[in-house]
Structure 1
Amino acid sequence: MLARHYRLRRNEDFQKVYKRGKSYGGQYVVLYRLQPRLPDIPSCRRFGFSVSSKVGKANVRNRVKRMLREICRRHGLRADDGSDIILIARSKIKGIPFRQVEQDVIKLFKRAKLGPGG
């Protein structure tokens, strides 16, 4: 479970990341990242998740969000650089095994320099 203080929840926060952040596209997920303005102040990374109704009905969308939260919990919390990150599921994600989605998100983390050394 990804704790609440690691999540983006307000619409204003999402809009700020969309407008000022940089995007990285993967096969199943699009990642938006907004770096903090004050990198000297340590703070935790926050994650937001967006799954459109095009992906499927509510039970499918909830499964996809749970999958993305678990991937972020496993791989995204390794460094607290204060970045705000949004993961947007593409419609292709429906029915894809966890491992494939996990590999896609890990590639995006590396491209966005969010890995263990990023």
Structure 2
Amino acid sequence: MGRLSRAQRIRKRPDFIRIQEGGIRVTSRHFLLLLAPSSDRNLPPRLGVVASRKVGGAVERNRSKRLVREVFRQSGAVFPAGIDVVVIVRPGAHLLSCAQMEAELQGVAPFIRRRAQEVLRRAHPSS
């Protein structure tokens, strides 16, 4: 397991709030993905992960977030540059293996790509 660089992470609360209030949604069984344009279209996609106490205790929440970050790192081609993604983890996600989590993401990948293109067209209509 590697780490996401600082440029690949959403770290500030105002960014989380901006994405959660205005992001386009893509849902799967264990995740809600919110997509929003980043400030610069040339930046790599950035990820933020939210896991509430509904997911479980600290161990379950942290495992879920760690696996989501790993799947994001491995599946970078799903998310185009210039997109910020907040993943809200739903209960039961901590029971998934990394491969199951990746399969779930790949299952909604066409929706993610289509919605990400919508987001980018709205944010940068001239391009």
Give the TM-score taking structure 1 as reference length: 0.83
Mark the CA change 1:49 to 1:12 in structure 2 (over 3 Å): closer, same or farther.
Answer: same
Unaligned runs of 5+ in 1: none
The within-5 A match list for 1:1-118 is 1-36=3-38, 39=41, 42-76=42-76, 81-113=81-113
Give the number of aligned pairs: 112
Aligned amino acid, residue 70 of structure 1: E
**1:35 Cα shift?**
2.5
Q: Give the drift of 1:36.
A: 4.1
2:73 match: secondary structure: helix
Gaps of 5+ in 2: 115-127
The answer to whether the 8 Å contact 2:9/2:48 transfers is: yes
1:38, CA displacement in angstroms? 5.9
Report the Cα distance in structure 2 between the residues aligned to 1:89 and 1:98, rounded to whole angstroms.
14
Amino acid at match of 1:17: I
Q: How has the CA–CA distance of structure 1 residues 49 and 38 changed in structure 2, closer, same or farther, with 3 Å as cutoff? A: closer
Which one has a larger percent helix, Structure 1 or Structure 2?
2
Determine helix, strand or coil for the equivalent of 1:101.
helix
Deviation at 1:73, TM superposition (A): 0.3
Deviating more after overlay: 60-69 vs 73-82: 73-82
Relative to structure 1, is the Cα distance of residues 57 and 19 closer, same or farther in structure 2, using a 3 angstrom cutoff?
A: same
Contact kept, 8 Å, 1:31 with 1:87, in 2: the verdict is yes
Mapped contact 1:43–1:80 kept (Cα < 8 A): no
Which amino acid is 1:97 matched to?
S
